[in-house]
Each structure stands twice: as C-alpha cells, then as structure tokens.
Structure 1
Amino acid sequence: MIFIALDNLTQLSGILGFISISISWLYGFIVLFKYIKTKERMLLYFFLAVIFTVSPWYPSGLGYIYWLITNEEIIYPVYVLLGTIGVPIALIAWLQIYMPTLHRKQNRIVSLIIVGLSIVFYIYVFVFLFAFADPVDSLIGIKRSAIDIDYKGFVLGFLAFSLLVSTITGNDFSIVSLKVKDNPVVRWKGRFLIISFNLFAIGAIGDGFIELTPITLIIFRMFLVLANTFYYIGFILPKWMKKILHLK
C-alpha cells in the first residue's frame, strides 16, 4: 500500500471536479425524476447527456474523494474507464435530441456513423488497457498527477471530435430556437442553450489544453458549472425561471 500526497493545485482540481460533477448529477436526477413521471423519451436522452457529458471530469472529482478516504489513487484502468466510457453515450444521447428535431431524415445514417465510431473507440480503449501486460499509456493517456491525465492518440481525437460535434450541433439547435418568432419560451431556451454550449466548449478546451494555475482552473471549472446550469435551464426552462422572465 502506497500513500500519496497531493499538492494544492491537484487538490483544488479534485474539489472543483467533484463540485462540477455533483451539480451535473443534481440536474440530471431532477430530469430523471421528470422522465419517470412522464415517460417522455427526450427527458431520458437529456438525463444521459447531462450525466455523461462531464464524465471526463469523473476521475478528477471521484479520484479526489477516493484519495480523501484511502490516501491512494485510483488504479490506471479504472481511472481511464471512468473518464472515457461515458463520452460516446453523452454524444449519442444529445444527437437523439438534435437529429429527430431538426434533421429527422438524416437521423438513421448519422446515428449509425456515431455508433460505429463509438464501438471503434471502445475497442481501442479496451485493447490498449487490457490486451497487453500493462496498459499502453502513450496511446491512451499519461497522468500528470494522481487525479489528472493528458489523453493521447485516438482517445484524444474522439474526445475532440465529440466536443466539436456537440458544439456545432448545439449552436445550430440554439440558433433555430432563437429564430422562432411566435414563441418567446422557445427563444429564451435558445438563448440559454447557446450560452451553455459555448461556455462548455471554452471550459473544456481551457481545462484540457492550457497550462492551469489556481485562477485559470477556477475560471474554467466555473464555466463548466455554468454551462450545465444553462443547459438544464435551456432544455427544461423550469417554472421559477419562467416566473423571473415573466413567461406564461
């Protein structure tokens, strides 16, 4: 048993990571409760999207809690699976909201392509995690601390692809909503959603590709929290927000 110490920046990353995923889970389970009551399929897709969109931050947040309890780090294969296995689910779930709404005729072919790429992604991850004597971290990801990692190879490519697709389609979905002239509720949803998708893109890129300091780490993780908040408001537009906006 090896006990490890975490520096202040790593601990801050873990704390902020746990806050981010906790808030996402909160929104997700509110929506899941609505789905259980209404059986509306779109709500299930939203639940899956909001829960798994933040899965790349699961190792940071959950890894920190694990360290607090055990004073050890999560083993590498579990760490990688926590951070990657939910990403295709989030992308597929979001596209099952986007495609049937705006591009119903292309839904089947797009879904097949994304599912195919996701299968390739899973095969890649599992092969380089388990097919050899040791995980090939140079083709999966190299840990920069006990709870943070720099992804490599096809893993990094797929994560970037997922972010690009979700940002482009999310902005398209939002812009279409903004153009609905006779429904102020839909227009407000579009405003919240366009903020959400772009905040998430900025936060994810900053968190993943910029050298972090305590200040930049706080800023980018705050972007992620705000992105999920605006995503929830934009998709659901709860009664309390309608009241603030004086909407019926």
Structure 2
Amino acid sequence: MALDPIIVVNGVSSLIFVIISILVGIFIMANYSQHKNVNLIYVGLAWIGLSEPWWPSSISFLVSLSNVDGLDKVTYFFIGNVFIPIFVLLWLLAMANLLDWKLKKQMSILYIIGSVIYEIVFIYYLFTSPDFIGTKNGPVDVDYELFTILFQFINLVIVVGTGLWFAINSLKSDQKRVKLKGEFLLIAFISFVVGTAWDIVATHPLSRLILVISAIIFYIGYVLPPSIEKILIEQ
C-alpha cells in the first residue's frame, strides 16, 4: 500500500530538518578542537537535541516504507520526548557560562528536579496509558495531550528565552563580530519559534523549511565562519 503524498512530504521534511540539525550540532562541536571551549560541546549537543520532537516522525517515516504504519505509539512517544531534559540542561549550562549567571547551580538543580518528576510521570503513563501522552495519527504525525505539550512548551520558552537573552547581549557589544553574531542568533531564534509554532498548529512542509533555515542561521551566528565574517564585516 502506497503512502499518502502528504505523509511522504511531512516525513521527508522532518527527516531533512533532523539531518540538518545533527550536522549543525556536529559542526559546532567540531570547533572545540580549535578553541577548547566546552560550551561548544554543550551547545552542539543541545542543538541536536532541539530536533528531538521530530526524531520519531523521521524514523517512523522510514519504517513506514516497509510496514506502512511506522513506529508504534509507545516507541514514537519515547523517542520524541524522553531525552529532551538532558539536552535542555546542556543548553542551560552553556547559557549559564556565557551569560555568567550567579545562580547557575541552583537553577540547574531546580530544572533537574522538575525534569525528574516529569520523566517519572511520563514513563508511568507511557506504559500504562499512552493516550494520556498523545494520539498517533498515521505513520508520521501525532497530537500530544496537554501534559506533554505543556512540558515541551516550558522547555521551548527556556531555550528560546535564554537564547534571545544571549543574542540581545551580543547586540550590545562594541565589537562588530560579536554584534553580527547577535544579529544572526536573533533571527535564528525568532525563526525557530515561528517554525515550531506553525508546526504545532498545523504540520506543513514550509514550517519545517523555516526550522531548517533557523538551524543554518544559528550555526552562522554561534560560530560565524571566517568566510562569512570576511564578507559581512569590513576589514
């Protein structure tokens, strides 16, 4: 049985976004060997993790090419949610270092406690009543319930909020290079929010395209490759 064209489009667009996000994360981490800055590792891994909600739809699409139905909903929900707190914690650690937070340890502990509570409840319902988490619609799409949406929304606010904070701080710098990075980061986070919000309201290939663009712009903003710096900054 052939897959519906919209399923193929949604599956492929998810897969492209995930692949691009993984590559962006790897490219960011690759700079560690040169700069020896652990934040590059944290941010690289965190950016890969930001694509986690799209992992199951990508994998399920590939699986559906052989069995039509894709992943079962328990596996789908597990892959798409369970590792999010780890990646967000890495992001928080990076932002805490970059923004020089005074209460870094306390904030990290608070987030860990909240995440552990969520994970316990999530795992419990995942294996006892997965409908409490969400409903799988076809091979690649899912409608999450309030419990799951709320936690994902909180994490989105944490990541985007701290990211915008970092970007705005960069814009205040007197250094042209830092200010330029801030401009790219600001665009990246705004486009990421737009793409994510659109994808939540109504899954569409264009929303995934916006997410792909946000990932690429984020890489440029965080690393600012020398070739782009030479083009955009007058020597």
Name the TM-score class by shorter chain.
over 0.9
User: What is the correspondence of 1:47-196 to structure 2 with a 5 Å cutoff?
Assistant: 47-130=44-127, 132=128, 136-181=129-174, 183-196=175-188
In the alignment, structure 1 segments of 5+ residues that lack a partner are: none
Show the counterpart of 1:242: 229
Deviations 1:90-143 (A, max 9, x none): 21121112122224212111111111111112112211112x3xxx23321111
Cα contact 1:121–1:154 (8 A) shared by 2: no
Return the letter of the residue paired with 2:189.
F
The structural deviation recorded for 1:89 is 2.1
Paired AA for residue 84 in structure 1: N
Partner in structure 2 of residue 6 of structure 1: 3
Corresponding residue number in structure 2 for 1:23: 20
Contact kept in structure 2, 1:200 and 1:224, CA below 8 Å: yes
Runs of 4+ residues deviating >3 angstroms:
36-39, 69-72
Is the contact between residue 185 and residue 247 of structure 1 (CA under 8 Å) also seen in structure 2? no
Q: Greater RCO between the two (CA within 8 Å, min separation 6)? A: 2
Match of 1:223 among 180, 194, 210: 210
User: Would you say the 8 A contact 1:59–1:148 is kept in 2?
Assistant: no
Which letter maps to 2:198? G
User: What SS does structure 2 have at the residue aligned with 1:149?
Assistant: strand
- With 34-43 and 77-86 compared, the bigger mean Cα shift is at 34-43
* Equivalent AA in structure 2 for residue 229 of structure 1: I
Q: Is 1:233 equivalent to 2:220 in the alignment?
A: yes
Q: Sort the Cα spacing of 1:127 and 1:247 in 2 relative to 1 into closer, same or farther, 3 A.
A: farther
Secondary structure of the 1:171 match is helix
**d(CA) in 1 for partners of 2:32, 2:63:** 31
* Paired residue type of 1:50: W
TM-score (norm 2): 0.93
CA distance in 2, matches of 1:68, 1:143: 17
Say if 2:181 and 2:221, in contact at 8 Å, map to a contact too. Answer: yes
Give the 3 Å change call, closer, same or farther, for CA 62–36 of structure 1 in structure 2. Answer: farther
Secondary structure class of the residue paired with 1:150: strand
Q: RMSD of the TM alignment (CA)? A: 1.8
**How far, CA to CA, are the matches of 2:165 and 2:25 in structure 1?**
23
Gaps of 5+ in 2: none
My pick for the range that moved more, 68-77 or 196-205, is 68-77
Give the structure-1-normalised TM-score: 0.88
Q: How far apart are the structure 2 equivalents of 1:160 and 1:24? A: 19
* Percent identity between the two aligned chains: 30
